[in-house]
Amino acid sequence: MTAPLNPLNRIRPDVRAMHAYTVQSADGLLKMDAMENPFGLPPHLQAALGQRLGALELNRYPGPRNDDLRAALAQYVGLPEGCALILGNGSDELISLVTLACALPPGADGQRPVVLAPVPGFVMYAMSAQLQGLDFVGVPLTPDFALDEAAMLAAIAQHRPAITYIAYPNNPTATLWDAAVVQRTVDAVAAVGGIAVMDEAYQPFASRTWLDAMRAEPARNSHVLLMRTLSKFGLAGVRLGYLIGPAALVGEIDKVRPPYNVSVLNCEAALFALEHADVFAAQAAELRVQRTRLIAALRAMPGVEHVWDSEANMVLVRVPDAARAFAGMRERKVLVKNVSTMHPLLARCLRLTVGSDSENARMLDALQASI
């Protein structure tokens, strides 16, 4: 009797060689590793939301309420004229959709389309490129995590990327790059016929948005797509992202979107949140205040080597031994993100979520005792 064939051999070799995206267990820990909003809904809003969700027809596929959500988001952001908006199951799905739509077969020279982004950056840009059969080119930031304009322009000219991601602000560095440098980068993408994707996941905490450029100069930004998520708005558990851009371009991306990709529960929760946007705006304002205090305390802490400015709800710090500090903080029941092995520029770095006043105090005590 012959041995049975291994069905794992049907899985792509590059997939089998990958590591799955893992989320650290936070049971019993203060969770300060994922840039989540620490504030819940007030009790009266919890009750109101519960009533609305309980009344939904869960036996039906999503319907017109998704259109209502698109309209509400368009009004909330002030959708630029001539632009359209589509919904995604978080920004992750939108990244996958953009990549899938651009996944042309290799050309006559055997070259595959290229996805380009500054590094260190959001890991899903490279992962999505690999899974959809595109090549990924990472362009290192400067040592102080600024956008390396010369390197970006040279890489765009050389590789002629189909997609160039610009996180605005960036993760994990929390930097909001110089607008003039970003504009010249966006212009370079246009010159090679590519698509520029501005990832504004952390926009509630940033001092500016690329939407202003899209409104002011629509022709200059006719190749620009802008992504946002309600995760940092305060709804990380809802998994709702949206993509904005010129209607013709967005319409092509929409063709590869799975039907019913946003559930009735996610949709209704997002609509409810937008109806109470003032509550979430107040939470974001409080986190910006807490961010300023956290950065000041970190810069005054003995043993902390460097603290970078932040335009997000996270702060990047460099310590003498990131692995030791991470382990020590975990022993003290505080979970942060050790990013020191993600990229050489991040050597000895930890990424700290900005939390409430009491959470930040506990995190600071744990860090001080661990370095």
110 has pLDDT over 90 = no
- Specify the pTM: 0.93
Q: Tell me what percent of the residues of the chain surpass a pLDDT of 90.
A: 88
For tokens 């899985």, what's the residue?
A: 11
CATH number of 59-276: 3.40.640.10
10 has pLDDT over 90 = no
| CATH 3.90.1150.10 location in the chain | 7-43+278-368
Distances (CA, A) of 26 to 40, 147, 354: 18, 33, 17
Chain mean pLDDT for the chain: 95
| Banded pLDDT at 260 (limits 50, 70, 90) | very high
| Banded pLDDT at 324 (limits 50, 70, 90) | very high
Query: What would the pLDDT profile of 141-186 be if each residue is shown by its tens digit?
Result: 999 999 999 999 999 999 999 999 999 999 999 999 999 999 999 9
| Banded pLDDT at 66 (limits 50, 70, 90) | very high
| Banded pLDDT at 1 (limits 50, 70, 90) | low
For the range 134-137, what are the long-range contacts, defined as Cβ-Cβ under 8 Å and sequence gap of 24 or more?
134/99, 134/102, 134/103, 134/162, 134/163, 135/111, 137/161
310 residue type, one letter: S
- Kindly write down the DSSP assignment for every residue of 318-364, as one continuous string: E-S-HHHHHHHHHHTTEE-EE-TTT-GGGTTEEEEE---HHHHHHHH
337 has pLDDT over 90 = yes
- Answer with the residue of higher pLDDT: 38 or 109: 38
- Answer with the residue of higher pLDDT: 2 or 104: 104
Query: What would the pLDDT profile of 36-49 be if each residue is shown by its tens digit?
Result: 999 989 999 999 99
pLDDT at 13: 87
Compute φ and ψ for 22, nearest 5 degrees: -115, 145
Q: Tell me what percent of the residues of the chain surpass a pLDDT of 70.
A: 100
| CATH 3.40.640.10 location in the chain | 59-276
Domain 7-43+278-368, CATH among 3.40.50.11540, 3.30.70.270, 3.10.580.10, 3.90.1150.10: 3.90.1150.10
Burial 39-64 (b: 16+ CB within 10 A, else e): bebeeeeeeebeeeeeeeeeeeebee
332 has pLDDT over 80 = yes
272 has pLDDT over 90 = yes
How far, in Å, CA of 16 to CA of 283, rounded?
42
| Banded pLDDT at 286 (limits 50, 70, 90) | very high
pLDDT at 14: 86
- Answer with the residue of higher pLDDT: 65 or 234: 65
251 residue type, one letter: G
